[in-house]
């Protein structure tokens, strides 16, 4: 392990030996952020590719267009509510749902990732999270920093995503297996994915305004959508709470430099906590070595 031990020279009378903390500086290079950005880039490109193939697949039913043989099942990753409905249908009947089955498998995969690696899906894979980070970086370029919303407003706003999640969970949980099957096979249920695509293809004025507000909010406030509004992130947050993994700070080794606080995109008071349990989107939600830039952290 490449570490270096330094003893600071302050010119003051030395403290009693018991209170002294050794300054241990990490000098081995940390590539976790580069690796994270690589994963984010690959998944962003993959999602753009899936969206493009799906677009051409839809176009071939609208008139003469280039023939695309298969519809890419991966687009169902964008249908988390269908995934929840299918999951409940599968639990109640034991049958794999025939409509949008990939939505269920992808949802279960992402929840399992949240259980195993906490918010790693948000930080490493989610294309919306990647775009959100890009917009926040643009905001820092334009205005030198992102806004930090004051606590009295931040806390109630963070509750919005749980309200949205609660609404969807309530709606799905109140449906019987028969109702779920009927919805799945209804014309709307069968083409939910096409409806979603068409929402973006034919954005109306309200859609433009809503997306404009979200983009502007993400430029000004880091993780605006993820922090306040994303019900998917809220669901993964609950799964991550059950995870046996935790980020733990070792107070005896901490030199109170506050670098973890500055690096934390979720604005958590990391240097005041011993165990970090927050459900907020965070890019250090993985076990060693994928962690925050702590200068005394040993690997």
Binding residues (CB under 6 A) for ligand SF4: these are 122, 126, 128-129, 225-226, 230, 232-233, 281
Residues 50 and 58: beta-carbon distance below 8 Å: no
**What angle separates helix 80-93 from helix 231-241, to the nearest 10 degrees?**
50
Dist. CA 203–CA 209, nearest whole Å: 10
Minimum distance from residue 115 beta carbon to ligand SF4 (Å): 15
Minimum distance from residue 210 beta carbon to ligand SF4 (Å): 15
Minimum distance from residue 251 beta carbon to ligand SF4 (Å): 30
Minimum distance from residue 153 beta carbon to ligand SF4 (Å): 19
Task: Pick the closer one to ligand SF4 by CB: 99 or 239.
Answer: 239
Give the residue closest to ligand SF4 by C-beta.
233
CA 248 to chain centre: 21
Task: Pick the closer one to ligand SF4 by CB: 58 or 122.
Answer: 122
Minimum distance from residue 276 beta carbon to ligand SF4 (Å): 17
Q: Please, what's the b/e burial string for 65-89 (b: 16 or more CB within 10 A of its CB; e: otherwise)?
A: eeebeeeebbbbbbbbbbbbbbbbb
Neighbours of 236 (CB within 10 A): 25
Task: Pick the closer one to ligand SF4 by CB: 181 or 218.
Answer: 218
Task: Pick the closer one to ligand SF4 by CB: 106 or 226.
Answer: 226
The DSSP call for residue 100 is S
The helix or strand, by DSSP H or E, that contains position 77, with its residue range, turns out to be none
Task: Pick the closer one to ligand SF4 by CB: 137 or 257.
Answer: 137
Minimum distance from residue 158 beta carbon to ligand SF4 (Å): 11
**What angle separates helix 231-241 from helix 151-173, to the nearest 10 degrees?**
90
Task: Pick the closer one to ligand SF4 by CB: 183 or 232.
Answer: 232
Neighbours of 152 (CB within 10 A): 8
Residues 135 and 218: beta-carbon distance below 8 Å: yes
DSSP-assigned beta bridge partners for residue 221: 147
């Amino acid at each position: 392990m490449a570490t270096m031990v330094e003893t600071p020279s302050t010119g003051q009378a030395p403290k009693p030996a018991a209170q002294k903390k050794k300054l241990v500086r990490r000098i081995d290079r940390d590539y976790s952020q580069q690796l994270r950005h690589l994963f984010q880039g690959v998944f962003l490109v993959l999602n753009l590719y899936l969206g493009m193939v799906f677009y051409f697949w839809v176009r071939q039913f609208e008139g003469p267009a280039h023939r695309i043989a298969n519809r890419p099942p991966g687009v169902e990753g964008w249908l988390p509510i269908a995934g929840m409905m299918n999951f409940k249908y599968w639990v109640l009947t034991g049958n794999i749902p025939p409509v949008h089955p990939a939505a269920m498998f992808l949802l279960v995969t992402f929840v399992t990732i949240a259980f195993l690696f906490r918010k790693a899906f948000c930080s490493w894979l989610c294309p919306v999270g990647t775009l959100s980070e890009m917009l926040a970086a643009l905001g820092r370029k334009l205005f030198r920093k992102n806004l930090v919303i004051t606590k009295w407003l931040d806390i109630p706003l963070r509750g919005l995503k749980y309200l949205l999640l609660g609404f969807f969970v309530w709606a799905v949980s109140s449906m019987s297996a028969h109702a779920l099957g009927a919805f799945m096979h209804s014309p709307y249920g069968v083409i939910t994915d096409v409806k979603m695509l068409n929402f973006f293809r034919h954005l109306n004025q309200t859609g433009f305004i809503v997306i404009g507000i979200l983009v502007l909010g993400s430029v000004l406030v880091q993780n605006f959508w993820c922090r306040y509004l994303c019900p998917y992130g809220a669901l993964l947050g609950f799964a991550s709470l059950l995870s046996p993994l935790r980020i733990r700070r070792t107070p005896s080794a901490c030199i109170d430099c506050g670098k973890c606080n500055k690096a934390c995109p979720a604005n958590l008071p990391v240097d005041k906590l011993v165990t970090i349990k927050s459900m907020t989107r965070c890019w250090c939600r993985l076990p060693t070595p994928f962690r925050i830039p702590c200068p005394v952290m040993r690997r």
